[in-house]
Amino acid sequence: MLNLLVNTSPEQKAFLAKVRLAMEQYFGEDQRRIDHALQVTRYAEEILAYIEADPVLTLTSAYLHDIGIPEAERKHGSNAGNWQELEGPPVTRDLLARLGSEPSFVEQVADIVGHHHTSCGVDSPEFRVIWDADALVNFAEVLPEKSKEQIENILQDHMETEAGFRIASRIFIQDTESHRRCLKGHRPAILL
């Protein structure tokens, strides 16, 4: 999957592959969580092509952003955002320490994981990429039911990066609009 859009060295690619594997092993049979993390990482990669941010910090955080969910569910019986933010950082530290990461890098990832449900939780481009990438995946479950005006308002309000906003508009407004036109039998001329 990595890395057509973002410039990373072979060493960085190898490290990110280890992070992905650690995430997959941690989630075990929970394929839904794994698929979500991979989708968020893909969108983060896409946004990174348009924004200046540390790709290794961003993509590591993308893989691990929901890593607190199993402990949140086990200890608190809930995967609510606040429990994820509480339980994610210790798991992140443990996984990254096993991979030999520098403590300062580990803390930066833990900081993003520990705030990823809090708007403007970390004032950094890497956090903003994760925020938007996660939204791009999660919005797919709720936005298709809404009107164009509602979607525009939600995206204006929620998206933190220009690239994230444009990608979201393409997916949830333009694509949905052409889909609706097709359903109504009013296909755009170019498709006829």
Q: Does the footprint of Fe ion cover residue 45 (CB under 5 A)? A: no
Q: Which of 139/172 has CB closer to Fe ion?
A: 139
Binding mask 2-21 for Fe ion (x = CB under 5 A): --------------------
- Of 43, 118, 131, 32, nearest to 80 by C-alpha is 118
Q: Which of 45, 132, 134, 160 binds Fe ion (CB under 5 A)?
A: 134
Candidates 1-9, 52-60, 63-71, 164-172; binding stretch for Fe ion (CB under 5 A) = 63-71
| Alpha-carbon torsion angle 5, 7, 10, 12, nearest 10 | -100
Enter the tokens of residue 177.
């609009």
The b-or-e profile of 27-54 (16+ CB within 10 A means b, else e) is: beeeeebbebbbbbbbbbbbbbeebebb
| Minimum CB–partner distance for residue 36 and Fe ion (Å) | 6
Q: Which of 66/111 has CB closer to Fe ion?
A: 66
- Closest-by-Cβ residue to Fe ion is 134
Residue type present at position 102: E
Beta-carbon contacts of residue 113 (< 8 Å; ≥ 6 apart): 61, 64, 65, 67, 68, 85, 88, 89, 92
| Minimum CB–partner distance for residue 55 and Fe ion (Å) | 19
- Using only C-alpha atoms, what is the Rg of the chain? 18
| Minimum CB–partner distance for residue 136 and Fe ion (Å) | 10
Q: Does the footprint of Fe ion cover residue 132 (CB under 5 A)? A: no
For residues 88 and 68, is the Cβ–Cβ distance under 8 A? Answer: yes
Length of the chain, in residues: 192
Candidates 58-66, 94-102, 159-167, 172-180; binding stretch for Fe ion (CB under 5 A) = 58-66
Number of residues in contact with Fe ion under rule CB under 5 A: 2
Q: Which of 46, 66, 85, 160 binds Fe ion (CB under 5 A)?
A: 66
Q: Which of 126/134 has CB closer to Fe ion?
A: 134
User: Residue numbers of the site for Fe ion (CB under 5 A)?
Assistant: 66, 134
